[in-house]
Amino acid sequence: MNAKARILVIDDEEIVRLSYVRALSTEHCKVEVVADGKGAIRMMRQQPFDVVLLDLHMPEMDGMNVLKSIKDQWPESEVVIITGYPAIDTAKKAVALGAYDYLAKPVGPDDVIKVANDAMTHKRWALRSEQRTACTAIQSRARM
C-alpha cells in the first residue's frame, strides 16, 4: 500500500493556503500549511514533505532562501514555486536551485492538483531510479 503523499503549502496569504488545501485534500495526500519560511523549515525538520508549494514573496525569509534551504537539507523533496510576481530571472534562479516547477498566480485548483501530482510522480521515479542504481552497484561489487 502506498503511503499518503505529504504536501506542504507555504504562503503568507491565508486565502491561498486554504484554496490549495481544499484542492489537494484527498485520501491520497496529507496537506499541511504554514505562513512563513521559518515555520516551513521547522515543519520540514519534524518530518520532511514530499512536495512543497512555495510562495516567493513572504516576510522575514523569502521564498528563494526557503527553496535553497529545503534543497540543501532535503534534496528528495520536490519544490514548486507559485508566485504572484513572476519574472524570468527568478524562474531561472529557482530552477538552478532545484525547483521542480515555477507557476504564476493566480493558479486554479486543477493546476494545483496537476503540478502536485506531477511533482510527486517525478519524486517516485527519481527514487526508483536511485534504488535501481544502488542495486546495480551492489550486484557489480558482489560479482567481483
- Number of domains composing the chain: 1
> pTM value?
0.85
pLDDT in tens, 106-116: 999 999 999 99
Q: Indicate whether 77 pLDDT > 70.
A: yes
For residue 25, what are the CA distances in angstroms to 10, 33, 47, 80, 144?
15, 12, 18, 17, 49
Residue 51, domain extent: 5-143
Residues 103 and 54 sit within 8 Å (Cβ to Cβ): no
Query: φ and ψ at 3, to 5 degrees?
Result: -75, 155
Q: Band the pLDDT of 46: cuts 50, 70, 90.
A: very high
Count of beta carbons in the 10 Å neighbourhood of residue 2? 6
Instruction: Identify the CATH number of the domain in which residue 51 sits.
Output: 3.40.50.2300
